[in-house]
Amino acid sequence: MRSSQISLPRIVRARRGLRWLSLFGPTLGLGLGLAGCAHAPVILPEPELAAEAASAAAQGRCPKMAPGTLQEITDSPAAPYFVHHPTQQTDETPTVLFLPGGSGTRTIAQDFIWKNWLSRGRRLSEVRVIVPYFPNKEHMTRAEAVRALRIREEALACYGGKKERVHLGGTSNGGRHAFFLMTAAPERFASLLGAPGVFPIKLSDERLTAALRGRPIYNGVGAADPDWKPEVQATQRRLEGLGLRSTYVEFPEQGHIVNDKFDPSGFFDFWLDGPPK
- The rounded distance, in Å, linking the Cα atoms of 142 and 130 is 19
Q: Is the pLDDT of residue 14 over 70?
A: no
Name the helix (H) or strand (E) containing 113: none
> What pLDDT is recorded for position 18?
28
Tens of pLDDT along 146-155? 899 999 999 9
For residue 197, tell me if it sits in a domain: yes
Q: What CATH number is attached to the domain comprising 65?
A: 3.40.50.1820
For residue 15, tell me if it sits in a domain: yes
Sheet with 217-222: strands ordered across = 70-73, 81-84, 128-132, 95-99, 166-170, 192-194, 217-222, 246-251
| Domain assignment of residue 163, given as a range | 8-273
> What pLDDT is recorded for position 206?
96
96 vs 13 pLDDT, higher one: 96
Q: Is the pLDDT of residue 182 over 50?
A: yes
Question: How do strand 95-99 and strand 166-170 relate by DSSP bridges?
Answer: parallel
> What pLDDT is recorded for position 88?
93
> What pLDDT is recorded for position 7?
34
Tens of pLDDT along 196-236? 999 998 999 999 999 999 999 999 999 999 999 999 999 99
Cβ within 8 Å of residue 43, ≥6 positions away = 145, 146, 149, 184, 185
For residue 69, tell me if it sits in a domain: yes
Tens of pLDDT along 183-202? 999 999 999 999 999 999 89
For residue 2, tell me if it sits in a domain: no
Q: Is the pLDDT of residue 139 over 70?
A: no
- The rounded distance, in Å, linking the Cα atoms of 197 and 220 is 8
For residue 1, tell me if it sits in a domain: no
For residue 3, tell me if it sits in a domain: no
The answer to whether 174 touches 101, Cβ cutoff 8 Å, is yes
Query: Is the bond preceding residue 80 a cis peptide, omega within 30 degrees?
Result: yes
Count of structural domains within the chain? 1
